[in-house]
Amino acid sequence: MEQEHQHITSYRTYAIVLTALLFLTAITVFVTWFDLEALTIVVAMAIACVKVTIVISYFMHVKHDKLVFKLMVGMVFILILVIFLILFSDYLFR
Amino acid sequence: MENSITHTEHRDDTASKMGMWLFIFTELLLFGGLFIVYSVYRSKYTADFHVAANQLNTFIGTVNTVILLVSSMTVAMSVTALRTGNKGLTLKLLATTIFFAFLFLVNKYFEWGLKFEHHLYPGSELMLTLKRGELLFFGLYFFMTGLHALHIIVGMILLIVIYRKIQTGRITKDDNVLLENGGLYWHLVDLIWIFLFPLLYLIS
């Protein structure tokens, strides 16, 4: 039986990743204390995207996974982005 | 022994992981659709959404975010523990994750309970007197967090099943794809919450 090479992430890496995620969460909450109006949602979404990328890369192991998984995950997010863009270009300019 | 039969079970870890990912994609698109509904109504009723979001408890939302992030780490660590052959630690980390999942639901219970006490629930008389945008916000709030909570319950059951299988030796150091897939599902629940939290709790 073929034995696949398995990448083992260290506990330390996970602890660092969690710290980063908690730090980003703190920033998101902190930013809402100031009235940045339209910018608030932009900042919140930008931070959310960074957090999602970190979770997918490290917690979900995509960073050390086979190329096919990287491509699959990438394409789904591009698909979602395209759906949003097409929908809003239609909705906002009709 | 010449008459012995060696039975090699067919196993394809890559395929089973791919299957899990495909399922996760359908979930992402399901929630993606809800995020589209949210975005369109938010752009249409921006002021109402802000007023309505003010009534949500940011503190409970933040606590639940932290709970999910920590539980995501513990389940990721359990994979490492199993692969390095530390079964005891794997079980402890999984139990911690399940406990956090339960804690999340307890918080959700109190959060929703408080809303119900204030007569805020889908179809209540108070809801029907609200402005259209506020009504839409609360409708989306209950539906999206409700669907998310349903995923938490499913994830909890899945992790309990995996816990039992590790205990009885049906998931081992060399055959751990089920734990990995369970972990992936749990991270999905976390991913969705990462977007839900700012969109619902932080826009006031």
Residue B26 sits in a domain of what CATH number?
A: 1.20.120.80
Q: Is residue B2 part of a domain?
A: no
Q: Is residue B34 part of a domain?
A: yes
Q: Which of A9, A10, A52 sits opposite B191 (nearest CB)?
A: A52
* Residue A36: pLDDT band with limits 50, 70, 90: confident
Listed range (A14-28, A31-45, A79-93, B16-30) with the worst mean pLDDT: A31-45
Question: Vertex A21, ends B160 and B80: CA angle to 5°?
Answer: 45
**CA atoms of B148 and B30, how far apart (whole Å):** 11
Q: Is residue B116 part of a domain?
A: yes
**In which residue ranges of chain B is pLDDT below 70?**
1-4, 6-7
CA distance A52 to chain B (A): 6
Residue B79 CB-density burial (10 A; 0-12 exposed, 13-18 middle, 19+ buried):
buried
Q: With contacts defined as CB-CB under 8 Å, which chain B residues touch A21?
A: 69
- Say what the pLDDT of residue A1 is: 38
Q: CA A14, A15, A17, A21 torsion: positive or negative?
A: positive
Tokens describing residue A26: 């703190």
- Say what the pLDDT of residue B184 is: 97
How many domains in chain B? 1
Q: With contacts defined as CB-CB under 8 Å, which chain B residues touch A61?
A: 180
Look at residue B124 and give its three-state secondary structure. coil
Q: Is residue B135 part of a domain?
A: yes
A13 inside 8 A of chain B by CB: no
ipTM of the complex: 0.91
**CA atoms of B134 and B53, how far apart (whole Å):** 8
Confidence check: pLDDT of A2 > 70: no
Q: Is residue B145 part of a domain?
A: yes
A positions 29-58 inside 8 Å of B (CB): 29, 32, 40-41, 44-45, 47-48, 51-52, 55-56, 58
**CA atoms of B102 and A1, how far apart (whole Å):** 39
Tokens describing residue A41: 């949602």
Domain residues for B125?
Answer: 15-201
Mean pLDDT for chain A? Answer: 89
- Say what the pLDDT of residue A3 is: 45
pLDDT digits (tens, 9 = 90+) for B74-93: 999 999 999 999 999 999 99
Question: Vertex B4, ends B3 and B7: CA angle to 5°?
Answer: 140
- Say what the pLDDT of residue B7 is: 67
- DSSP code of residue A5: P
Q: Span A68-80, mean pLDDT? A: 96
Helices in B10-86 by DSSP H: which ranges?
13-44, 46-53, 58-83
Confidence check: pLDDT of A47 > 70: yes
Indicate yes or no: CB of A88 within 8 angstroms of CB of B39.
yes
**Contact of B95 with B114, CB cutoff 8 Å:** no
